[in-house]
Amino acid sequence: MKFRLRIDPLAGVALALLAAACADDPPPAPTPDQLKAQALAATPAALAAASNTTLGKRLAGKSDPVVAGEQLNLDRLQRFYAHHNFEPVWTTRKGKADALTDAVLSAGDQGLDPSLFHGNMLVASTVLPPVERDLLLTDAYLAYADALARGALPVERRSSDEVLTPGPVDVTAALDKALDSSDPAAKIEALAPATPTYRALRQALKDNPAPARRHTIEVNLERERWLPRKLPAERVWVNVADQRLTMYSNDQPALSMKVIVGMTGKGNQSPEMQVPIDAIWFNPPWSIPADITANEIMPHVRDEPDYLEKHGLTLLPDGILQQKAGPYSALGVLMFDMNNKFDVYLHDTPSKQYFARDDRHISHGCIRIENPRDLAALVMGQPRVAIDEKIATGNTTRTPVPKPVPVFVVYETAFADPDGKLQFRPDAYGRDAEIWQALNPKGRTVVAAR
């Protein structure tokens, strides 16, 4: 005897149960608790495939759907509609759909082109069949929410040395919350940063800036979206474009100084990252990276047999070339230990004369700081004299900090200074143009399709 078992797919139909139900000796019908457990375990894609709704069938494939020539994001749509029984959402929520559509069409206020979120089609979406229109609207809202929450150019799409990220955000959950709100647009726009720089940049967009300046503003609005929404009250902020470090205590600037940053050539630029200071090395030796040894030191050794001895360099048994600790070490007398994949650190330098230069793009990527002892005192929570005394011993020691202090290495070519005034800096690394290309919808796939 054969028969067909039909169960609401959102109650947890699995293909295995369907197959078993068609057997000659079917197992006992699953209990409600079992069905609930299966529903929790089922993926949105599996639920879509098992759905009998028109919309669910539309999302049952493995490739991104296309509506009116616009490519949509299948994964986000499956996750959103799994919470809505794969039924249309906006046909009964016209007021909220209109509010969210207006927000997307006003994306220029956030430095984003509405075309990135199907803006051109949203206006004409009423001519689409109901299911097609629902998918288009949802995809536009989710894409806009994702761009505000993580950036239009999220970390997985950026250069390898641009790894700042606000952390994971569930934009499908955010849109669900917006549905329950009396002001859904405000809920979505709350995903954007609220930093002084973001506010100042948005305000600057309202003053009709020249096109080139406008591009700089929009690029830096994007960079702000790469940052955590709540910055730590105690933090070290290094703006590579400004060539300056600021230490914040209780969310207020406590110390500011010049820094020397990576050279402009590819391979030596300082990265954009967030990493904590775990410890401070006092009187650190310098283990020289292999590429610097090969390209910059060995040519001198071939010309000057006593070059290593003259510069305090020793070849270790593992083949690493190391410069002994001391006032002439390239690391100076202090190094701030920050474990990161770039091997980039904050440290002292014996070459203090370079801080007098306007252009201080001269390091191999690490960040040399003007007043490392003052910074160490703040990070350690000790008086400056205690730092001086530890250095004076001449001993190489690694001292853990009382509490790890996050360091943000950013590249802001436009930013708000402590007085809230917008400042601009040259794009020495040429990174603005790369981001602008990603923000410009012409000639590229829309962000919504990622």
Picking from 24-38, 183-197, 377-391, 393-407, which range would have the lowest pLDDT averaged per residue?
24-38
| Distance of alpha carbon 283 from the chain centroid | 34
Per-residue pLDDT tens for 351-377?
A: 999 999 999 999 999 999 999 999 999
Distance CA 352, CA 332 (A): 10
CA 345, 351, 356, 358 torsion-angle sign: negative
Q: Residue 6: what pLDDT?
A: 37
Domains of the chain by residue range: 9-58, 66-196+434-449, 242-285+325-410
Cα angle value 346/351/353 (rounded, 5°): 115
Q: What are the CA-CA distances from residue 110 to residues 163, 215, 245, 260, 449 (Å)? A: 22, 12, 27, 32, 20
| pLDDT band at 38; cut points 50, 70, 90 | low
Q: What does the alpha-carbon distance between residue 448 and residue 140 come to, in Å, rounded to a whole number?
A: 7
Structure tokens at 177: 């919350």
| pLDDT for the residue 27 | 62
Conformation bin of residue 151: beta by default, left when phi > 0, alpha when psi is -120 to 50: left
Residue 114 reports pLDDT greater than 90: yes
The CATH architecture to which 242-285+325-410 belongs is Beta Barrel (2.40)
Q: What tokens appear for 121 in the block? A: 């089609």
Query: Which among 247, 260, 100 is positioned nearest to 185, based on CA atoms?
Result: 100
- Sequence-ordered list of residues with C-beta below 8 angstroms from that of 125, at least 6 positions apart, any chain: 133, 136, 137
384-409 residue pLDDT tens: 999 999 999 999 999 999 999 999 99
d(CA 27, CA 115) in angstroms, rounded, equals 53
